[in-house]
Structure 1
Amino acid sequence: MTVQHDSSVYERIQAGERFQELRRRYRSWAFPMTVAFLVWYLLYVLLSGFARDFMGTTLFGHFNVALLFGILQFVSTFLIAWLYSRHAAAKLDPIADELRAEEEDK
């Protein structure tokens, strides 16, 4: 089966109510999470630049607050990716699959 790939197909799908719901669900998750991550990242950068004594506070051995925050940057990145994959599987993929199947049936 050949699917028509001209701009009218995409414009029609984009104008549909379910596609708009898909966009709304994506944006309602992605935008707040992006803002939260950027705030967390900028906090780390600002503290590293302006609160050097705090960031240099030794927690144990050679492990200090700056190193903990740096590691938590990686942890939070992987956590956000995992949470997004769960969100997409539960809230986005079903609608996208419906839209795709509907278009392939035409």
Structure 2
Amino acid sequence: MYDVARPATGNALDETGRLPVVPPGGRPPGTEHRRSAPRPGPDYAGIQAGPEFVALRRRFRAFVFPMSFAFFAWYMTYVLLAAYAHDFMSRKVFGQVNVGLLLGIGQFASTALVTWLYLRYARRRIDPRVDALRAQAGLPDRTRR
């Protein structure tokens, strides 16, 4: 178990019992030797402003926004029917199964359907463009499962 009364070795509290003061925008005293050269990396701002990324974002939104709206409308229809159309929702379809139960199960089925449609859409229309952008930026390939 960790003893909170005694700081661990190598801790900044060891020598003085106080936390080091960090100057604004600087590093704690004694850490200058740890400074390393900035790593060159992709120009994320440039990639985001580029036409390929803009097209990728547009393609993503072209699926997500309409599908989200449609699913929300379907969900709200179910909720409003359940709240205000008791006679309709309690109408027997067969045996003890009524319209409300079928529409409720339909909510689960439609969730699975939307998920499957998005995965299919992303695999065909979005992932190849993401891979091309990653290669253009010099980033390693993603691992696919």
Do Structure 1 and Structure 2 share a fold, with TM-score over 0.5?
yes
Amino acid at match of 1:45: V
Q: Distance in 1 between matches of 2:121 and 2:50?
A: 22
The alpha-carbon deviation at position 41 of structure 1 amounts to 0.1
SS in 2 for 1:4: coil
2:106 pairs with one of 62, 67, 72: 72
Using structure 1 for the length normalisation, give the TM-score. Answer: 0.90
Paired residue for 2:116?
82
Contact 1:26 1:92 in 2 (8 A): yes
Q: Which has the higher contact order (CA 8 A, sep 6+)?
A: 1
Structure 1 position 38 matched with structure 2 position 75: no
1:53-64 to structure 2, matched below 5 A, reads 53-64=87-98
Which structure dedicates a bigger proportion of its chain to helix? 1
Structure 1 position 4 matched with structure 2 position 41: yes
Using structure 2 for the length normalisation, give the TM-score. Answer: 0.67
Structure possessing the higher radius of gyration over alpha carbons: 2
The alpha-carbon deviation at position 42 of structure 1 amounts to 0.1
Runs of 4+ more than 3 Å apart: none
Paired residue for 1:25?
59
Q: When the two structures are aligned, how many residues end up with a matched partner?
A: 101
Quote the RMSD (CA, aligned, Å): 1.4
- Structure 2 unaligned runs (5+)? 1-38, 140-145
- Structure 1 unaligned runs (5+)? none
Q: Could you tell me the percent identity over the aligned residues?
A: 50
Amino acid at match of 1:4: G
Task: Report the CA distance shift for 1:3/1:82 in structure 2 as closer, same or farther (over 3 A).
Answer: farther
Contact 1:3 1:104 in 2 (8 A): no
The alpha-carbon deviation at position 61 of structure 1 amounts to 1.2
Paired residue for 1:102?
136
Structure 1 position 16 matched with structure 2 position 50: yes
